[in-house]
Amino acid sequence: MQALRLARPRLPLRPASRAFAAAASSVHGGAPAASSSASPVIPLSNVEAMWERLSADEQLVIHQQLEELQKKDWKSLSIDEKKAAYYVAFGPHGPRAPTNPPGTVPKVILGVTGLVVTATVLFYSIRATAPPPPKTLSKEWEEASNERALEQKINPIHGISSEGYSGPGFVTHK
| Entry pTM | 0.41
Residues 13 and 83 in one domain: yes
Decide if 88 contacts 66 (C-beta within 8 A). yes
pLDDT tens, residue by residue, 22-39: 444 444 444 444 444 555
Beta carbons within 10 angstroms of residue 4's beta carbon: 17
Residues 67 and 146 in one domain: no
CA distances (Å), origin 111, targets 39, 73, 119, 120, 123: 50, 53, 12, 14, 18
Torsion sign, CA atoms 87, 90, 94, 96: negative
Beta carbons within 10 angstroms of residue 88's beta carbon: 24
CA distance 55 to 57: 5
Burial group, residue 65, by CB count within 10 angstroms (0-12, 13-18, 19+): buried
Domain that holds residue 24: 2-96
Residues 25 and 68 in one domain: yes
CA distance 125 to 69: 69
- Residue 108 per-residue DSSP state: H
Residues 22 and 85 in one domain: yes
Note the maximum CA span of the chain: 118
Residues 120 and 81 in one domain: no
> Mean pLDDT score of the chain, rounded to an integer?
79
CA distances (Å), origin 157, targets 147, 151, 161, 164: 17, 15, 7, 11
Residues 75 and 148 in one domain: no
pLDDT tens, residue by residue, 112-148: 999 999 999 999 999 999 999 899 889 999 999 999 9
Decide if 27 contacts 2 (C-beta within 8 A). no
Residues 9 and 85 in one domain: yes
pLDDT tens, residue by residue, 62-106: 888 888 888 988 888 888 888 888 888 887 776 677 788 889 999
Residues 39 and 117 in one domain: no
Contacts made by residues 94-102, CB under 8 angstroms, sequence distance 24+: 94/7, 94/9
Output the pLDDT for position 84: 87
Output the pLDDT for position 23: 42
Using 50, 70 and 90 to split pLDDT, how confident is the model at 2?
low
Residues 141 and 170 in one domain: yes
- H helices present in 91-103, as ranges: none
